[in-house]
Amino acid sequence: MTAAILYSLSGALIFFIGLYGTVVYPHFLKKAIAMNLMGTGLFLILTALSTRSPDLIPDPVPHGMVLTGIVVSVSATAFVLVLGVHLFNKTGNPDFPLIRYTEKGEE
């Protein structure tokens, strides 16, 4: 098992865990965190695959892509948070969609 396989499999798992979190939790803060998990999983896959070169110097192009990706995903998350806070101020409800599902009698 090379380091590339180890980290890219972990990245794949983290991506799908993040996808599960985005789908399943209605609170917008949790969705934002789960979206970031998806992004981080993808970046792990990209960077892990770039370490496969035989002369042990990693490929710098995926590093540039991941750098750009981190900054863009943080700004997109910040925008989602601004929108979510705005929605919460207007409706008092932090859930996307605005219907709240009950969990076995809670709330």
Partner 1 sequence: MSPSFIDYILAPSLVCLSFMILLAKDLFVSIVLFIVFGLLVALAWVELKAPDIALVEAAVGAGVLGALLLGVLGRLEHNKKAAVRTTDQVSVIAITLLILGTAILGRVLYALPQEAYGIGPGIRSLMDRAGGANPVTAVILNFRGYDTLLEIGVLFLVSVGAKALVSTEKQPQERVMPKADRIILFFLNLLIPVMILVAFYLLWVGADAPGGAFQAGAILAASGILLYLSDTGFSLNFDSRWTLLGVSVGLLAFIALSWVMVLAGGKFLEYPASYVKPFIFLIELSATVSIGFILLTLFAASAKEKV
∠ CA 68-35-93, nearest 5°, is 130
Dihedral angle sign, alpha carbons of residues 39, 42, 44, 50: negative
User: Is 105 a binder of partner 1 (CB under 8 A)?
Assistant: no
User: Is 1 a binder of partner 1 (CB under 8 A)?
Assistant: yes
Among positions 88, 91, 98, 105, the unique one binding partner 1 when judged by CB under 8 A: 88
User: Is 96 a binder of partner 1 (CB under 8 A)?
Assistant: no
∠ CA 96-14-80, nearest 5°, is 30
Task: Read off the amino acid at residue 99.
Answer: I
Among positions 35, 62, 98, 105, the unique one binding partner 1 when judged by CB under 8 A: 62
| Residue count, binding to partner 1 (CB under 8 A) | 84
User: Is 98 a binder of partner 1 (CB under 8 A)?
Assistant: no
Among positions 9, 35, 98, 105, the unique one binding partner 1 when judged by CB under 8 A: 9
User: Is 35 a binder of partner 1 (CB under 8 A)?
Assistant: no
Q: Is there a contact between 77 and 35 (Cβ–Cβ < 8 Å)?
A: yes
